[in-house]
Structure formats: structure tokens, C-alpha cells
Chains A and B, each alone.
Chain A
Amino acid sequence: MDTGIVLTALFVAFNCGLLGVFLMLRKMAMVGDAISHSVLPGIVIAYLISGSRASFPMLIGAAIMGVLTTVLIEFLTKKARLQNDAAIGISFTWLFAIGVILIAVFTKGGIDLDQECVLYGDLAFVPLDKVIVDGNLYLGPKALWNQIPVFVIIVLTLVFGFRGWQVTTFNPDFALSLGINVSKWHYVLMSLVSLVSVMAFEAVGAILVVGFMIIPPATAYLMSGKLIPLLFITMIIASISVIAGCYLAIYYNGSFAGGMIVVAGIIFIVVWAIKAVIDRWRRVANRTAYENRAESISA
């Protein structure tokens, strides 16, 4: 097993999961999905303009598209009076389709931006793009060094903005009454989601990013009722999914990201089942205690 692959996947999972917690709590899981798809045309356009696969222009392109998506969703919801989920469905599929067409049109000229790669990504190719300094010091794959700064940015934003995330997520009206600029926080989150999506798409692809964003937080949500533990449990579940998923992928010789999301889903089901059993067991215990007491009173 290549440590470069595992480390890259770990940081992708951390970045997605930490933001995913807030997307989930804001009931915006599908907006995360939308952004992760609709950054595609941004990436392609940035690529066509800059002519390189360098990260920075792509980042700008993706960030613009990410924010544009949320604006478009809001516009369709408020002005066209569509249901929110319909608005999301229109916005991201349309933008994503434009991206697909753009790739198809321009790949005829032999551009090294491949549809398969964008949709599914491939962690297996991550170690091929190496960071080597001084001619022979191998520092790990380039994708890993793309993820680490994003991780630092996200952690800093969460630590310093913790109270802001808390209040604008739990009770935006109340935050507004305090004079807090709620939409500013909203767009910061959306920009971070775009950032994570564009950095993750070459590793895990546009389709599975949202799996990393939602499944570990949703699992953690079953396990804890407090925000900080929720964030840490999310990271633990993400780690288990990445490592076990890696073994799974090697075992059946398939996609790494696919294996990881499969494992994440299995963890979710297992945790949910255990929780259901415990809840039921508690209810039964309570009821028998109550019945015993009732009997002792009547006797």
C-alpha cells in the first residue's frame, strides 16, 4: 500500500468531512453536491484560458463557479419560486453538463483533461506526480501537498470562526439580530466547499467528493450531540474509511475512492444498527422498570 495514496486520501477526507459537518447541520448537503459538480466548467474554462493544469487558475475558476452556483440556486428559489431541491437540480446538472461539453469539444485538440478523470478521479495515479526537491529528496505526491494547505485553511477558519459558525448555523435570524453578517459566513463556507471540491476532484472525482462530505458527518451525528466531538468523530470515521477502503480496493483491484465510500457507507449502517439496538434495549429496560414499580405499588 502506498503511503502517498493513503495520506492524500486522508486529507481529502478530512477537508470534505469538516466542511460536511456544517453543510449537514445547515441542511445543505445537496448544495455541497451541487458545488462539487458545478465547479467543472470553472476548471475547464480556467484550463482553456491559462493553458495549464496548474492549481491556481483552476482554483479561481472553481471558486467563481461555486459561488455562482449558490447565487443561481438562490435566484431560482426566490425569483422563479422553484422548490429549493428543484433549483439545486437545475443549477448543478446544467453547469456540469456545460463542463462535460466543453471537455468533449476541446479534448479533440489533444488536451490532457480527461472526462473519466474529472468524473471519477484516480488515487492510483496520485503518486506519479511527485514533489522532489534537491534532485532526489522525495516529499510525497503533489496532490498531498495540494491538500495540506487546504486543511490548514479549513482548520484555522473553523477554530477562529467557531462561534460564528455555531450561531449562523443554529439560528441565523438571531445572528442577524446581533448584527452578524450571515450571508458573508454563508459565502465563506461556499467558497471553502468549492476550494475543497476542486482540490479533491483529481483525487476522488466529482461524483464521490460528496460521499466524503456527507457520510462521515452523518455517521458522527448518530454518535454525538455536541459540535466539537462531532468534528473529531467525523475525522476518525473518515480515517477508518480511507484505510479500510484502501485495503478493499487493493483486494478487489478497483478504484480507491470507490472502496473508501463503500466502507464509509458500511460504517454508517453498522453505527445506525447498533444505535437502534441500544435505543430499543433502553426503551425495554425503562418499560420493565416502570412495570415493576407499578406492580410493587399495586401489590
Chain B
Amino acid sequence: MTETAVNLTRRQFGQAAGALVLAFTLTPHPAGAQAPKLPGSLNNNRMLDAWLRINADGSAIIFTGKVELGQGISTALAQIAAEELDLPLARVKMVSGDTAQTPDEGHTSGSQSIEYGGTAVRLACAEARSLLVGQAAKRLGAPAGALKVSEGVITSPDGRKLGYGELAAELDFDREVTATAQPKPPAQHTIVGRSVPRRDIPAKVTGGAAYVQDIRLPRMVHGRVVRPPRYGARLDNLDEAPVRAMPGIVAVVRDGSFLGVVAEREEQAIKARDALTRSAKWSGGSELPDPTRLHEQLMALPTQASVVSEKQAVVAPAQKPSRRPTPDLTSRMPRSARPAPSPRSRTAG
């Protein structure tokens, strides 16, 4: 879970990190007013300070609503931020997995974290860098284009230097992202596009806090759900009293046909779940498919087709396609690397 202190309680975390908890404001567009569409996750998290903070020592903290699932996103987003900010990778810290601090980016799924979250981090960091350079230009009395930026230090043509930390103190990132600052062209990348060690692996091989299961809250209790024997089965009858008398039981939870148990200790919840399973009487519901005929059953299920990608090959001008080709990655590949053209390829999922 990147570098968030997941072994702390939320309260302790809030105390420990009080200095970096940001009160980022809501978007300034009043209800009904048309806010311009911003790229990627910026569109729903429009304030610059929702995405990053520059510390007094010139290092950066990046806030992401995407979480590390072993896909390497905590490392990749840090690379993107370091690249755009012209900071060494080690001076970019990531905060993830704490909704009190991070932008709301919805799910982490579908290989979309770079596309949406990465786009936002890239543009927010490019904008922050441009603000820092603009401030330095004012302070140094030199045009922004004449300044050099390296490792968080901005240098004027006559050799005077200003650090990000000092400049950031004079800037307010509590402002809406405009997404107008040009990010670096890929040809200038020195950090993005290179393999770097994943940030999440050391904790994962030494028993560090790395998973949501590793979060322990004060006075946390443990629950188990009693699953019905058949899909849609109705819970008819249950002798709760003996289970309530078992050690450590906090509650037997029954809501219609939902049945669960809460206990002080995990193994107590498991024993109580097993006891409830033995005691519960269910009726109705549909039988699960015969495991020996699973393949046939799956093939017989109703299907629904949805297009996840539609591509149209570039065709010679004489046979002009009736529609404009959909831009896709292949159009940016060198011609030799493009897939063989076909009149129309369609991927349905």
C-alpha cells in the first residue's frame, strides 16, 4: 500500500501527518455552470493541491486515488511525477489508500490507472512545475524560458539558484488545474520508460504492512458470513441462542436471509459461523450447476455483447473509408510495427 502508514490507526495517522493533511476545496464552478472537461482523473478532482504538495525541503508528495495491487502503480506514478517535476525519483513520496487525503479516482481496475491517474499526475505536476518556474522568473528577474530546472533547483542564466521548497511557500496550489502546461515530450524522458525497482516489494518480502488485511483498528472485531447452500435460498429457521452463548460472540446478524456473526477473535467468529451453518435451515433457491457439465452450462448462458475497442485500419485514399478512422495507439507506432491492415477489426468483450 505504497508508503502510507497502514499500521497506524486513522486517528494516529491524522495526528502524525497533521502537517500534510490538506483541506482541498471543492471545485469553484457553481452548480449548473459548465466546467471545462479536464483530461483523465483531473476531471473529477480539479484542484491542484488534491494531487500534489511541495514540501519545504523541495521534495514532493503525490496523492493518488489509485491503489497498489502489485501492478506497480505506486512506482509508476512516482516516476511520472518525478519526470514532470524534474525531481529525483527518491524525492517523490506517494500517498495512496487513505480517502481522507487522496483524490477520488473510483476503482483501481481495468488497467486504467496510468491512463486516468497517470494523465492527471502528469498534467498536475507539469502545471506545478510551470508555476514554480514562473515564480522563479519573477524572483530572479529573468524570462522563464531562460531558467534551467534540475533536481528541484531553478537556476538563472547568471547562476543564481532557487529551490522548489522556497518557491512553493510563495505559491498557493489551492487552485483549479488548467491542464494547459505542456508535459515533457517523451523524447526528453529520463525517468519514465525506464525500469526502476518497485517500491512495494521490500515490505512484501519482510512482513511489512502491504495489504488491506494488515490494517488493524483499535477494538477491531471479526466477522464471518454464513453462506446459503443454494443461490437465492431463504433462511427459514435458526437456533441462535447456543451460538450467542459461545465465547467472544458480539452479535449474530440476521437481516432477511442474510446471516452473519461478529466475534472478538477471528477464530471465535469462524467457530460461530460453523455452528450457525449447522443450525440454519434453508429452503428454495436454485441448485448450483453440475460440476461435470460446467462448460456446457456456461456456453448455454445468455450472452450480451459489448464493444470495448473498435479500430479501423488506414486505407489507401482511393478506397476512402466511409468513416473517419478512430485514433488508436497503432497510428503512433512506426509503420513497420503496425499490425497488418485489415479493413475493420473489432474486439468485443
Do A and B interact? no
Which residues of B line the A interface, CB within 8 A? none
